[in-house]
Amino acid sequence: MRKIDVLVLLFALGIAGVLVTSTYAQAEAEAPIEPDLARGEELFELCAQCHGSAGAGNQLIEAPAIAGLPAWYVEAQVRNFRGGVRGAHPDDYAGLRMRPMGRMMHDDQKLVDVTHYAASLDPVMPAATLQGDAARGKEHYQQVCVTCHGADGRGNEALHAPPLLNNSDWYMVAQLKKFKSGLRGAKAGDTWGATMRSMSMTLEDEQHMQDVVAYVLTLRK
């Protein structure tokens, strides 16, 4: 074999090696992270400070119930807080409190562990705290919200729409107000938040929001 042939062969082998290695590395990088629930439980102690050890939330400090919410949704929200997409507006008081918590989950493995642990907790059904006209809310829900959150309020992962049944009514109204005022869903990069922001514009006022939320609570039955 001539010298030049050997060099060409070595060069080709080198290129092939680089390609195989990079393909393998890429596959490895894209591999889903396996949640470690035991580690998630440890990490959840941080969340429990506000959301409670059962993840049932605490209205006094505007911490919503998170127990049993889908892991994909909780993970997406913590990523939003971490990346400054959510909870970065100067007037988003409760969101600003979550912002550093999201940053503490800087490691994706931690993020997956803790959000899957929250998802593994028994879902709660927070009691109603607001007065709304469910009949009026039903009309709006079935015209607008149903598209993404479904007729049964159980959400649709494909549309990034979370289930609503385990949320507190005060939390849902607070979020609708934030979407409408631009405290949430107005940041560049918050694609799904932007969708919800435009939907919130169809609600006239806070009473209208309470009506829709009152109807959502009736879907629990």
Residues lying near another protein in the complex (CB under 8 A) are found at 46, 49-50, 88-91, 93, 96-97, 99-101, 103-104
Shortest spacing between CB 115 and another protein, in angstroms: 18
When the beta carbons of 33 and 104 are compared against another protein, the nearer one is 104
When the beta carbons of 14 and 100 are compared against another protein, the nearer one is 100
When the beta carbons of 103 and 220 are compared against another protein, the nearer one is 103
Sign of the dihedral defined by the CA atoms of residues 143, 145, 151, 152, in that order: negative
Shortest spacing between CB 41 and another protein, in angstroms: 17
Burial class (CB in 10 A: 0-12, 13-18, 19+), 177: middle
Eight-class DSSP state of 161: B
Cα angle 75-77-79, degrees, rounded to a multiple of 5: 70
Give which of 152, 127, 143 is closest to 216, Cα–Cα. Answer: 152
When the beta carbons of 44 and 141 are compared against another protein, the nearer one is 44
Shortest spacing between CB 94 and another protein, in angstroms: 9
Shortest spacing between CB 186 and another protein, in angstroms: 9
Q: Nearest 5°: phi and psi at 206?
A: -65, -35
